[in-house]
Structure 1
């Protein structure tokens, strides 16, 4: 399984980031060739070593509109500088944190954000997948303590 996972994540090298979207408390990254990253747990984006976006910044400034927060504001503010970069390096740490480096100075980090003893089952933290119309693409999902590759 480790060889298959390594081969799958190596597919991402050279792929261009085509879009970035906020979806609830998640960041959604779409790369060319229908490759997608969902950052479901703690996700951070650095631009030239400056932390510009994190999903922790989701608290509403005015407590009335859920889009009035640092995550949505900074995603819109920096989107043009983030989109267009190509993946130069992708890696998964021993604790299943995901790191992507792009050639435009962008670094995307998806961390395993919580343990699971408090929950009935593990929670998805991040997921890399091939988007296909018939849902036949491969999925690499990081849960709290394990990776699943389908």
Structure 2
């Protein structure tokens, strides 16, 4: 039985890729930038609502993988990532969905052949696989999804 897998590149612009049971990969990105006159916590509430909507559309999600970032360019990016990761992991716990962080270098090596591949190299690798990517976050999520699928096939 094929399981539904969701892969996420967490950030203000969150890339996502999902392989549902029919195996037709869907992907894109969602912008979680706070709107004018909103408190900073609204991005996390919108993210949680978006996850729930995605779960409803997919019927079910059996596993979630997210890009595990250890270094951030700035403090704000680190705070946003931490808040999104906390929201994601608590949402997964609530719904009984297993989740796993995967190091950035592991994803890039699987996608482009080297752990320090740049944004363009990952985007190109995903285009070679037949995905029309418009954003590097979307490409990272797709690369993670392909890693997760390959890892499940090996297990």
TM-score by length of 2: 0.30
Whichever structure has more helix as a proportion of its residues is: 2
The higher-RCO structure (CA 8 Å, 6+ apart) is 2
Whichever structure has more strand as a proportion of its residues is: 1
TM-score by length of 1: 0.31
